[in-house]
A and B are shown apart, each in its own frame.
Chain A
Amino acid sequence: MSEQSSSALRDAVVVGGNRIPFGKAGGAYAAASNQAMLTAALDGLVARYGLAGERLGEVAAGAVLKHARDFNLTRESVLGSALAPSTPAYDLQQACGTGLETVIQVANKIRLGQIDSGVAGGVDSASDAPIAVGEGLRKALIKANHARTPMQRVKALAGIRPGDLAPETPRNAEPRTGLSMGEHQARTAKEWGITREAQDELAAASHHNLARAWDEGFFDDLATGFLRLSRDQGLRADTSVDKLATLQPVFGKGEGATMTAGNSTPLSDGAALVLLSSREWAEERRLPALARFVDAEVAAVDYVSGEEGLLMAPAYAVPRLLARQGLTLQDFDYYEIHEAFASTVLATLAAWESEDFCRDRLGLDAPLGSIDRSRLNVNGSSLAAGHPFAATGGRIVATLSKLLHEKGPGSRGLVSICAAGGQGVVAILEGC
């Protein structure tokens, strides 16, 4: 984006956010649907900012695991919320990048002047996952439905074989490789030589930081209790590197296996949203502007051929974003790197420190260098909070915006989220 067109755009700011505490799969929200969770998060946001009955520019959200009936999930949630029914809404899906991608979408519409306000985010339930009928049964039923004569119908249904009756459940696996995300990441961890100790240290820090943030009341205006859950269910304030060290590896094989249930994100349920607007819209309503949306970038890598790791796309997106903004990796007060796995964060940081990677893969003269680790995920991240896929972007953007606002005007934060399909969504926010 050139300077000229940039100056023609107005600012989009983060007013605030709301999420429900994240539940463990099969836990507190086992019986809650995506729509129920998204509506609860939306109503909490509306109540916090006194928006009952208001028409917002739009609500953009999504879910990765979706029932067929949820084809209009976000719009249905808006209709069930306290917002004016004249608020438009749509679903968007980019795997774990969904939440941040909706933020980019809404922010850009605001910057272009197409809307003045909007809500962005997402929801996911690993508990209330859709289960579909097997492909054979599905095809037979469709054929029977299209049959013109009873004979044709009988014939179609007679084609069903016992094996067709097995249901199809969603799998946490890449369709093109058949490998789970963990198995993919185990390869990357091995390639970058990420140690078990380093992963466990990062996981323990995530839990300790998140617990401290809850204790300090940091989430008092970022979360709304739901179904008797008032804190993230997977949070283990008392965990330690020693305790984590006792867990058996679950991804990868043999000697080099380092990834355990402790340093990998658990399957979770939850919803998270962010309220964005123009500065004027916020000022008119005397609402705060926590942070300004600066810019964003999305990258994708060829993980199918094995040329790059499945979750390494942010390593490519960030340098492109930095170059466009004329910034270095060290120009940030906070780094929010989504903890899909502890090793994902560590491999990404290692890549930026690697002269070879930065030269051969990114085409840079010098490595991006290292970051001040005390600025990384300072109030915890997905390892402790959990990771309802599409909700993670909203959680991170709201958390980072509040941190930046507390830090003061001009402070800068980097968001990096890896996603299935070899994609990576990254963004820069600036404190107001």
Chain B
Amino acid sequence: MADLMQILTTNPLARQLGVPQPTRLRRGRELPSGPVVLAAVGGAQGHGGVVADSLGLLGLTPQEALVDTPGTRVTETDEDGRTREVPTPYPGKIGAVVVDATAATGLDDLETMRGVLRPALKALESSGRVIVVGLEPESAGAVTAVATQQALDGITRTVGKELRKGATANLVRVDLLTDRPTTAADLASTLSFLLEGRSAYVSGDVLHVGHAAASAAPETRPFEGQIVVVTGAGRGIGASIAETFARDGALVVGIDVPAGGEALSTVVNRIGGQALQLDITAPDAGTRIAAHVAQRFGASARIHTIVHNAGITRDKLLVNTDEQRWASVLEVNLASQLRINEQLLDPDLPGGLDDNGRIVGVSSVTGLAGNRGQANYAAAKAGMIGVARAMGADPRLAERGITVNVVAPGVIATEMWGKVPLVTRTLGERMNSLQQAGRPVDVAEAIGYLADPASGAVTGQVVRVDGQLMLGA
């Protein structure tokens, strides 16, 4: 059966009839075509100019943002001769507006936020970007300052829902008033990700960037010569993760169950990687992965990134769920990862996780919001978020430069999603700010960002790749 949405969105007649057309999103390592404009709220330079410096590290020279105030408005006359006062417009489209709100401490500063965003949103190009940088609210000090910083969250999420044509809005929270302040270098990989097409399907998200002892400079092939292990690499999102890491220079070891060997071979052969057929629920799966790495890449080789992507579903309403259905999902989707992490984190294990290594899990919005019929799956996916938070806060891992994060994909157009009934699928694809399903590569790009050697200051985070899904949380 032909896909109704496809007909509605590709037929020229549908466009003329006014059916909303999903925007083709800017993807990959492509910056916005228009200029990046920068505004500081609450102080001339924000807090020490970290945001401006960080953009400078990316080789960007932002223009000064326009600020709407009653005194700067101009009169606009429409076709019928009616006049109204409007903010001074930008001379052309802008690619992104970056707001440094790290120095915002009072409610007056929120009026400046409005003043900056109003003309910028009007001028924002297709797949443009709104990036607000604030503080972790708890670290902001006085009650008013905390309230102001928390208000940024409401503003950014709302802007995300108001934006059209593939534009996104995200909030980045940094530490500037703590004893481990975020530096421009720490922030660079996050700004790079959010500005580029890599973050196409990330909107309405809140990310925290802390501080790392040494944050590497962002590069276009950040994984050159690095060993990256991807579980469940045979199909769907896993295949895209493997391909994206290979594109960025990684030596990919793709893992899948022996039964899935045919699909895994195809993926691995396409990217020049290696296939390791392994049931990740084996008690010694982690040491077997390490042994493979040590043999194939040399005794001193170590894993830079492991992506826990493999997962299964055994959906049933909880009232109908028996212990086997429950256990199998928790075993594959959570327990196996805990064991593999523990084994790979042994610093004396040849082929284990390297210092400055990365652990990235593929969680799900189901882990944040729950989903009817998926109590077991939601338990595992929420559990993964707990794993990332706990390990992200572990000072022993921080000392070794190891970060642990998860991504939480929403509706992603995979082969599996294609089997969901049409109406459910159509609704799911529409119920987000970008009004379309994401692609597997969108998840892969977010994982690549978290795994990037330049993202050492990003740990314990959940990156939602859901186009700001309106269902659930």
Chain A residues engaging chain B, CB cutoff 8 angstroms: 40, 43-44, 46-50, 52-53, 82, 217, 219-221, 223-227, 230, 286-288
Contacts and interface: CB of A to CB of B under 8 A. Distances in A.
A286 B296 CA distance: 5
A47 B282 contact: no
Interface in B248-290: 254, 258-262, 264-266, 268-279, 282
Contacts of B254: 47
A25 B272 CA distance: 34
B272 A50 contact: yes
B297 interface: yes
B48 interface: no
A47 B296 contact: no
Given A43-B265, A43-B266, A44-B265, A223 B258 contact: yes
Contacts of A43: 262, 265-266, 269
A201 to B, nearest CB: 30
A327 to B, nearest CB: 31
A53 B271 CA distance: 10
Contacts of A226: 261-262
Contacts of B271: 52
B287 to A, nearest CB: 14
Contacts of B265: 40, 43-44, 46-48, 82, 224
B295 interface: yes
A137 to B, nearest CB: 40
B225 interface: no
Interface string B293-306: 00111100000000
A9 B283 CA distance: 43
Given A47-B274, A49-B274, A217 B282 contact: yes
Nearest to B251: A50
Contact of A52 (B259, B269, B277): B269
Is chain A's interface secondary structure helix, strand, loop, or mixed overall? loop
Interface in B70-101: none
Nearest to A231: B259
A203 B261 CA distance: 29
A225 B260 contact: yes
Nearest to B277: A220
Interface residues of B, number: 26
A46 B272 CA distance: 9
Contacts of A46: 265, 269
A286 B292 CA distance: 10
B262 A225 contact: yes
Contact of A287 (B268, B273, B296): B296
B217 to A, nearest CB: 30
A219 B279 CA distance: 12
Contacts of B266: 43, 47
Given A44-B261, A47-B268, A50-B273, A217 B279 contact: yes
Contacts of A288: 295
A91 to B, nearest CB: 23
B268 A52 contact: yes
Most chain-A CB neighbours within 10 Å: which of B258, B261, B279? B261
Contacts of A53: 272
Nearest to A45: B265
Nearest to B296: A286
B275 A48 contact: yes
A286 B269 contact: no
B49 to A, nearest CB: 47
B465 to A, nearest CB: 28
Contacts of B270: 52, 82
28 contacts: A40-B262, A43-B265, A44-B261, A44-B275, A47-B265, A47-B269, A48-B274, A48-B277, A50-B268, A50-B274, A52-B269, A52-B271, A52-B272, A52-B273, A82-B265, A82-B269, A217-B258, A217-B279, A221-B276, A223-B261, A224-B258, A225-B261, A226-B261, A230-B258, A230-B259, A286-B295, A286-B296, A287-B296
A52 B273 CA distance: 8
Contact of A224 (B277, B282, B298): B277
Nearest to B301: A286
B298 A219 contact: no
A50 B258 CA distance: 16
Nearest to B268: A47
Contacts of B269: 43, 46-47, 52, 82
Interface string B371-412: 000000000000000000000000000000000000000000
B258 A225 contact: yes
Given A48-B277, A224-B265, 5 more contacts: A43-B262, A43-B265, A44-B275, A50-B274, A286-B295
Contacts of B259: 225, 230
B297 A286 contact: yes
Nearest to B278: A220
B312 to A, nearest CB: 15
Nearest to B279: A217
Contact of A47 (B258, B264, B278): B264
A224 B295 contact: no
Nearest to A227: B262
Contacts of B298: 286
A48 B273 CA distance: 9
A44 B277 CA distance: 10
A166 B214 CA distance: 79
Interface string B182-197: 0000000000000000
Nearest to A43: B265
B286 to A, nearest CB: 15
Contact of B262 (A44, A49, A221, A287): A44
A217 B264 CA distance: 17
A418 to B, nearest CB: 30
Contacts of A44: 261-262, 265, 275
Nearest to B253: A50
Please list the 5 inter-chain residue pairs (A to B) with the smallest Cβ-Cβ separation, ordered nearest first. A224-B261, A230-B259, A82-B269, A47-B275, A47-B265
B261 A50 contact: no
Contacts of B275: 44, 47-48
A223 B258 CA distance: 7
Nearest to A221: B277
Most chain-A CB neighbours within 10 Å: which of B258, B259, B272? B258
A15 B265 CA distance: 18
Most chain-B CB neighbours within 10 Å: which of A53, A225, A227? A225
Most chain-B CB neighbours within 10 Å: which of A47, A52, A53, A82? A47
A226 B260 CA distance: 8
Nearest to A224: B261
Nearest to A40: B262
Contacts of A49: 274
Contacts of A40: 262, 265
Contacts of A219: 258
Most chain-A CB neighbours within 10 Å: which of B258, B262, B265, B296? B265
Nearest to B259: A230
Nearest to B294: A286
Contacts of B278: 220
Contacts of B295: 286, 288
A50 B275 CA distance: 7
B258 A220 contact: yes
Contacts of A287: 296
Interface in B13-46: none
Contacts of A217: 258, 279, 282
Interface string B220-264: 000000000000000000000000000000000010001111101
Contacts of A220: 258, 277-279
